[in-house]
Amino acid sequence: MTPVSRSRWILLVAVLVATLGSLQAQVLASGAAQVVSLTGTLTLKGFRQESRLLRLRDTVQSGDELATGENSVALLRTGDGSTVTIYPDSRVIFNERSADVRELLHLFLGSIKVHIEKLSGRPNPHKLTTPTAVIAVRGTTFSVFVDETDATLVAVDEGLVGVANVQSPDQEVLLKAGQRSWVRPGQPPQQAQAFRGRSERADLMPASGSQGMMGSNSGMAAGMSQQAGTMGSVRGMGSMSGRGH
């Protein structure tokens, strides 16, 4: 290959790389997300598509349903830099941006941790839903758990989160950093309770002024604690019971 041919080849490769990077940024900016870390299995079920396993750097589109396997944790990043950690035995659907707020996802079952990236230092409004709760966020870090009874626990590390029951969205409870709330079917959100530690372990920490939450949540809590240190012994996080709190 002559020097001229080599220079043309290098230029062509550079143009292709730049084009692909631009296209990927446009895809993520349109409401999709990319798998940036994966331990175990993450299964995707797209609209009118057969289920398939996702790999690192795969893209998740609006409307895709995701499910993590046992001992599996996936980290996804959206076009605005926000991230979603999906813990074992969880099911979520990624939603699309609406006219006024980004509907980030719907959590059917299991456990997630979300970080909403601020835009140029300004709040970045998002909305999440579960079978029981509507969660409005304004640039923050928080965790959401949903058990088999559809009870939802929201716990906040940073920022401000509004929590309401899907049946009565006007009865909202605001949660600040270090606070949590349960939302159960047919009931308004529990008043904000303080907890210590990280939001993904909020069920382990007794709320101030209330009894500890160790009882029926011990299996899921142990899974969270072990996941933070080593993935080898993580238990599923979809088994949390909403009873007894």
Decide if 243 is inside a domain.
no
Decide if 98 is inside a domain.
yes
How many beta carbons lie within 10 A of that of residue 220, not counting itself? 26
Judge if 189 and 161 occupy the same domain.
yes
Burial (Cβ within 10 Å: 0-12, 13-18, ≥19) of residue 78: buried
Decide if 141 is inside a domain.
yes
Decide if 240 is inside a domain.
no
Contact 203, 153 (CB under 8 A): yes
Decide if 245 is inside a domain.
no
pTM: 0.73
Radius of gyration of the CA atoms of the chain, in A? 20
- As a whole number, the mean pLDDT across the chain is 77
Mean pLDDT score, 65-82: 93
Mean pLDDT score, 67-77: 97
Decide if 218 is inside a domain.
yes
Number of domains in the chain: 2
**pLDDT tens for residues 14-70?**
555 444 444 444 444 456 899 999 999 999 986 667 899 999 999 998 889 999 999
Which residues, 6 or more positions from 48, have their beta carbon under 8 angstroms from its beta carbon? none
How is residue 190 written in tokens? 């529990």
Domain of 25 in residue numbering reads as: 1-30
CATH number at residue 177: 2.60.120.1440
Q: Is the pLDDT of residue 100 over 60?
A: no
Decide if 80 is inside a domain.
yes
**pLDDT tens for residues 135-162?**
998 778 999 999 999 999 999 999 999 9
